[in-house]
Amino acid sequence: MFHLSKTKVILSLLLWVLLIGFILLLPWLPLAVEKEISTTFLDETTANKAIVFFGFRGCDDTCPTTLMVLANLVRTETRSAEQQTSVTEEINNNTVKINSLSAEFLRESETSAEQSSALEQQALAMNILLKDFTLR
């Protein structure tokens, strides 16, 4: 019938025990690497974000297409950042102009208040003179 040698049976049982032992111990094996990753390349630029792309030598279609998509994304983000910067600069310039106009308006208002006070004093003086004025 079916004849197996004693050695083959022992080896196959040993392999099964090893496989089951590995499967049972797998959750307790340290699979994560606890190593600090240096990000000095971010310190050299003003960017606070980076894209890390891992390509493969045999990647004929996907990698170049993905790189083009990433390049378009970076271009779009750069344009949006430039537009935001120009809008922010325009707002800052307008704020400076508004502050300047407000300061000028305040000076003119103070001058008008002083002139109004002087006119009031002159009106009071004229009123006194008119009371003393008599026709002959």
C-alpha to C-alpha distance for 100 and 102, rounded to whole angstroms: 5
- What is the reported pLDDT for 33? 66
- Count helices and strands (H / E) in the chain: 3, 0
Token look-up 């099964």 returns 16
How does 37-60 read in b/e, with b if 16+ C-beta sit within 10 Å? eeeeeeeeeeeeeeeeeeeeeeee
pTM: 0.40
What is the arithmetic mean of pLDDT over 87-103? 93
More confident of the two residues 87 and 2: 87
**Predicted confidence (pLDDT) per residue in 59-79, tens digit:** 777 677 888 888 898 889 888
Token look-up 């208002």 returns 109
